[in-house]
Structure 1
Amino acid sequence: MGDFIAYLDTSDVRPGKLEELKAAMAELAAFVEQNEPQIISYCVCFSEDGSVMSVLHFHRDVASLELHMKVAGPKFVPVAPLIKLRTIEVFGRPTEDLVVQLRAKAQLLGSGTVIVRDVHAGFARFTRG
């Protein structure tokens, strides 16, 4: 699978903050789409009752996730009062520096944990664009 990276974070939505969070995340997704053309996919999802948010993105390589943290990182700060981050899960092989950045993000957004899962077997199909 090479350097392919999948990223999933899961957060509790703070009471009364769902609509504000949905607006903020729509803005963030639009920003990412406009400013980070290397990302394969970036999706914000909510549980049926709106109490949990998950953000899932796919990257062709580690450099793409590193760039995402640099470019979108400042946009995470306004989201902090709206959520309590539970976990960040990374599937692939991030650099140590990237893991440090992800741990800092987890602390900023709610002291969640960072879990790294190295891919043992499998494949990814996508076209280069």
Structure 2
Amino acid sequence: MPGSIFYLDKSEIREGKLQELKAAITHLVAFLDSNVPRVVSYGIYLDEGGTQMTVVQIHPDSASLEHHMKVGAPEFAKFKDLVKLKTIEVYGEPSRELLGLLTKKARMLGGDAVAVNGLEAGFERFRLAP
């Protein structure tokens, strides 16, 4: 049975765009909090120098991250002048549809690949009801 999906992406913040990016992040998080109810955890992290942004998400399953990608796509497009995506990494068993959505996001934000890492061994102690 497929388990949780862990998502991590890293982007380079475009020069002179840090303050604009911070405002966009605040809007994005509020939007997603209201429209993506099944996400377990969602965080956007900036490095101390204000040059790198990392997004970390935990979803109960592939369908949750698919929903996130579909609902959030118009909002993610607003970031293409603010960041240049470097990597998207997915941990778990994403569906083909999800991989297509992630690849589309990567290309839109200047990246070109999505790395998938399958679970070899482990366990989970948190689960949300479907």
TM-score, scaled to structure 1: 0.95
What SS is found at the alignment partner of 1:86?
strand
**Aligned Cα RMSD in Å?**
1.3
Once residues 4 and 111 of structure 1 are traced to their aligned partners in structure 2, the CA distance between those partners, rounded to angstroms, is 24
Instruction: Give 2:6's aligned residue.
Output: 6
Change in Cα spacing, 1:117 to 1:41, as seen in structure 2 (3 Å) is same
Instruction: Give 1:105's aligned residue.
Output: 105
Change in Cα spacing, 1:112 to 1:10, as seen in structure 2 (3 Å) is farther
| 1:127 to partner: Cα distance | 4.6
1:53-104 per-position Cα deviation (integer Å, ceiling 9, x unaligned): 0000000011000000111111111111000000000000111121111111
Larger helix proportion of the pair: 1
| 1:34 to partner: Cα distance | 0.9
- Matched residue count: 129
Q: What percentage of residue pairs aligned between the two structures are identical?
A: 47
1:19-55 per-position Cα deviation (integer Å, ceiling 9, x unaligned): 1111101110111111111000110000110100000
Change in Cα spacing, 1:14 to 1:52, as seen in structure 2 (3 Å) is same
Instruction: Give 2:30's aligned residue.
Output: 30
Once residues 82 and 49 of structure 1 are traced to their aligned partners in structure 2, the CA distance between those partners, rounded to angstroms, is 16
Instruction: Give 1:125's aligned residue.
Output: 125
Greater than 3 Å deviation, 4+ residue runs: none
Could you tell me whether the CA contact under 8 Å between 2:2 and 2:93 is conserved in 1? no
Once residues 17 and 124 of structure 2 are traced to their aligned partners in structure 1, the CA distance between those partners, rounded to angstroms, is 36
Could you tell me whether the CA contact under 8 Å between 2:62 and 2:93 is conserved in 1? yes
